[in-house]
Amino acid sequence: MRVVLEEIKSAFESERNEERRQQMSDYMRGQFDYYGVMTPIRRELSKPFLKELPKEPKADVYLLIELLWQQPQREFHYIAQELLFKVAKKTLEKEDLPFIESLIVRHSWWDTIDFLAPKILKIYFDKFPEERNAWVDKCVASHNIWLKRSSLLFHLKQKEDVDMDYMFETILRLTGSTEFFINKAIGWLLREYSKKEPEMIEDFIDENREKLANLSIREGSKYL
């Protein structure tokens, strides 16, 4: 897998752009290094890897995901999470939750969390619903804002399978936070499900207006 890692590095290096690299880093508040590879180009470069790598044994694929996540440039993290998504339905096992969590808490920012939580965690909890409550309890009690955000956003793509009562319960456990990324996630959830259950979401906002942050109310009410 280290050979594959070097091949991916070479592909990204061939498209390095210093001006875009700085722009991308500035957009992410200087937290990450970049090659400066624009998304369409990155996706094109990633295609052959994402096509062939899922055929490899799980242990090799997960090792490569870990190696990619250890790299400083953000483009590696994107291809790592896309690779995990490709294989998640087939390969995720109950004992893989700590691995997912390790990706959440390293190199954390909204761009990876908003992929890992609604996509990877959703698949995991669809397969192993009995793991959900204890993990959410742990996240809500943690001091890590990205675990807290993840405990909300895995609901995002569940659509008709969403447990609305549990979603509301988790939201209420996280009200009172002054953290932008928590309150934004609450609003995002409410806005998304207002398309499906407008009366239920409107009632929830009205009943909890004093607890919800203004940002959450504003975001959650956009389609009501």
Each of the 224 residues of the chain gets a pLDDT tens digit; together they read 778 999 999 999 999 999 998 999 898 888 899 999 999 999 999 999 999 999 999 999 999 999 999 999 999 999 999 999 999 999 999 999 999 999 999 999 999 999 999 999 999 999 999 999 999 999 999 999 999 999 999 999 998 899 999 999 999 999 999 999 999 999 999 999 999 999 999 999 999 999 999 999 999 999 99
Contact criterion met (CB below 8 Å) for 58 and 88 = no
- Tokens describing residue 138: 């742990």
Q: What is the DSSP letter of 32?
A: S
**Rounded Cα–Cα distance for residues 39 and 35 (Å):** 11
**Rounded Cα–Cα distance for residues 25 and 73 (Å):** 10
**pLDDT at residue 154, rounded to an integer:** 97
pTM over 0.85: yes
Helices assigned H by DSSP within 154-179:
164-174
**pLDDT at residue 44, rounded to an integer:** 95
**3-class secondary structure, 190:** helix
**pLDDT at residue 71, rounded to an integer:** 96
- Tokens describing residue 106: 């390293």
Q: How far is CA 51 from CA 47, 86, 107, in A?
A: 6, 9, 25
**Rounded Cα–Cα distance for residues 148 and 141 (Å):** 8
**Rounded Cα–Cα distance for residues 120 and 10 (Å):** 27
Q: What is the DSSP letter of 93?
A: -
**pLDDT at residue 28, rounded to an integer:** 85
Write the single-letter amino acid at 153.
L
Q: What is the DSSP letter of 6?
A: H
**pLDDT at residue 113, rounded to an integer:** 98
**Rounded Cα–Cα distance for residues 4 and 96 (Å):** 23
